[in-house]
Amino acid sequence: MNNMNSRLIHFAFLPLSLRMVYTMTLLVLGTGYLFAMIQVWEVHANRDGKTMLTAEDLRIAYSGKKGGTRLESALNGPMQNMLPPEERQSILTWVHDGAAKEVYDSKVKSIMDTRCIACHSPAANPHLPNLTNFDDVSKLVSRDEGMSISTLVRVSHIHLFGITFIFFIVSNIFTHAYMRPLWIKCVVIIVPFLTILLDIASWYLTKMQPAFAWMVIGSGALMGISFAVQWITSMYQMWIYKPPKELMECGGQLPIMGGDKIKCVPYQE
Ligand code: HEC
């Protein structure tokens, strides 16, 4: 029990220079976290047409937008009046049936040549989708499958390595905090690492089953909360908080009240 290695060294007992290192590290990592949130917002928030970041945005991001292709949306929207309804219907049927090359050659190309390429050709307007050949038209009828597995794998390994580094640093600093009961402190340390794994798993689950979008949101929120708890507790205890008097008197050791006298034993941790 008299193992000095198990002592808590509270922030109050750390040299000023080390607390400076910790403080500056937390400031920069905290700023980094804010930018990461802005980045998530920027990339995902607008997918479902609403400004807020919703579960639907994440469903679309990971598993793709169900329903319309770009060509269908255009034909049901702004391009609706560019052609007679029966021709419009035969293009829609062609898309619906899988957009095969043979049908394009036999039916669709002639319609597009008469109705569309006056505007949709590189010569007429290079900024509009080119509708003069099968390959370019195909790009407008591909289904949105969401993020590809190879993208997910790439982002997964970056997140696993990168975020683990960040939490390794932040929770190392946080170990100097005084938090009772001890199990809460342990939970606050374990949770962020678990949420990294949970977060990554939820991406793949959402790709397969869109309902898991809530798990992406839940693990992200939990990760943010645990980062905030560690960050705020560390900063607060480093500069503002006065540790309990007994802890100070015992030089960071655990005080045990024995009669009137305080006995100091190593704080087991
Ligand atoms: C009079 C010129 C004109 C004709 C004819 C025309 N379009 Fe367009 N098209 C536009 C313009 C301009 C835009 C871009 C602005 C917009 O989306 O409203 C556009 C946009 C599109 C888009 C892109 C929408 C997106 O996702 O960005 C598609 C697809 C499209 N048109 C398909 C067609 C088809 C199919 C036809 C023939 C049936 C057609 N257009 C005929 C002018 C035309």
**Lowest mean pLDDT segment, chosen from 43-52, 114-123, 135-144, 225-234:** 43-52
Q: Rounded CA gap, 166 and 160, in Å? A: 10
- Determine the straight-line distance between the first and last CA of the chain, rounded to whole angstroms: 11
Say yes or no: CB of residue 120 within 6 Å of ligand 1: yes
Residue 19 one-letter amino acid: R
Q: How far is the CA of 127 from the centre of ligand 1 (A)?
A: 10
Residue whose Cα lies nearest atom 30 of ligand 1: it is: 74
Q: Rounded CA gap, 58 and 221, in Å? A: 14
Q: What pLDDT score does 249 carry?
A: 72
- Residues 243-258: tens digit of each pLDDT: 777 677 776 666 666 6
- Residues 41-86: tens digit of each pLDDT: 877 776 676 777 777 777 777 777 766 788 988 888 889 899 999 9
- CA quadruple 52, 55, 58, 60: dihedral sign: negative
Residue whose Cα lies nearest atom 21 of ligand 1: it is: 74
Say yes or no: CB of residue 238 within 6 Å of ligand 1: no
Residue in the structure block whose two tokens are 């099968």:
134
The CA-based angle 193-52-42, given to 5 degrees, is 65
Rg, C-alpha atoms of the chain: 29
Do the Cβ atoms of 120 and 140 come closer than 8 Å? no
